[in-house]
Amino acid sequence: MYLLHSLLTGSIRRMKLASLYRSTVLLATVVSTIGCDQATKHIARTHLVGLPPQSYLGGVVRIALAENEGGFLSLGAALPPTLRTTVFLLGVGGGLLLAAIYLARPTGWRFSALLCAWWIWAGGLSNLVDRVLFDGRVTDFMILGLGPLHTGVFNVADLAITAGGIFLLLSAVGVADTNENRTGQSSPSGLGGLSRRG
């Protein structure tokens, strides 16, 4: 009886430590993403005002201050002000609130996928902070280019959203492939066993 009690106590303790570790990593991811994004935006607003675009690495990286009233890559910037405020403040804010409530509950997701989802959420929240503080505008300052090809102007939060989305998609594809392989491996072995018995 004492041995059973010890095993159960140890198992519960390990589960609590694992949960604490996961929560700490997720919180650190959110805080560091928002902190890094806001710090780099502050530097851009402080030091890039009135300066021409700065090129680095042979033009692969360019730094130029831009105040974006739209969404990712300025999508929606041409919307009427009232509609733009509704979409990017109320709509995005409400979406982030619902996402936080959903992600904070036990979802059964793999930890890597949950980490990516919170990474995306942190990027969205940091851009929302900009809109609240700076009259609906988001500070962008980075451009990547190679020859005639180049991105739009973006920031660290956009990078977190994009990278988190890509890794989340890859994680989902990896889980699907794993499940498919397991199904494919179990079916032939079962049929083979029947045939051998026959």
Q: What is the pLDDT of residue 194?
A: 39
For 144-155, how does the pLDDT look when each residue is reduced to its tens digit (9 = 90+)? 998 888 888 999
16 class by beta-carbon count within 10 Å (0-12 exposed, 13-18 middle, 19+ buried):
exposed
For the record, the structure tokens of 116 come out as 């990516």
Q: Does 193 fall in a domain?
A: no
Helix 156-197 vs helix 2-47: angle between axes, to the nearest 10 degrees?
Answer: 140
Q: Does 137 fall in a domain?
A: yes
For 36-95, how does the pLDDT look when each residue is reduced to its tens digit (9 = 90+)? 999 999 999 999 999 999 999 988 999 999 999 988 767 788 888 888 888 899 999 999
- Host domain of residue 88: 2-188
Q: Does 146 fall in a domain?
A: yes
Measured distance CA(182)–CA(190) in Å, rounded: 12
Indicate the number of domains in the chain. 1
Q: Taking CA 101 as the corner, what is the angle to CA 96 and CA 107, rounded to the nearest 5 degrees?
A: 115
Average pLDDT, stretch 183-188?
55
For 26-47, how does the pLDDT look when each residue is reduced to its tens digit (9 = 90+)? 999 999 999 999 999 999 999 9
Cα 195 → chain centroid = 49
Q: Taking a C-beta distance cutoff of 8 angstroms, is the pair 33, 123 a contact?
A: yes
Q: What average pLDDT is seen over the chain?
A: 84
Q: Does 9 fall in a domain?
A: yes
Measured distance CA(59)–CA(144) in Å, rounded: 8
For the record, the structure tokens of 136 come out as 């609906």
Q: Does 198 fall in a domain?
A: no
Q: Does 194 fall in a domain?
A: no
Q: Is the pLDDT of residue 132 over 90?
A: yes
Q: Does 56 fall in a domain?
A: yes
Measured distance CA(60)–CA(147) in Å, rounded: 8
Q: Is the pLDDT of residue 124 over 80?
A: yes
Q: What is the pLDDT of residue 147?
A: 83
For the record, the structure tokens of 152 come out as 């739009």
Q: Does 52 fall in a domain?
A: yes
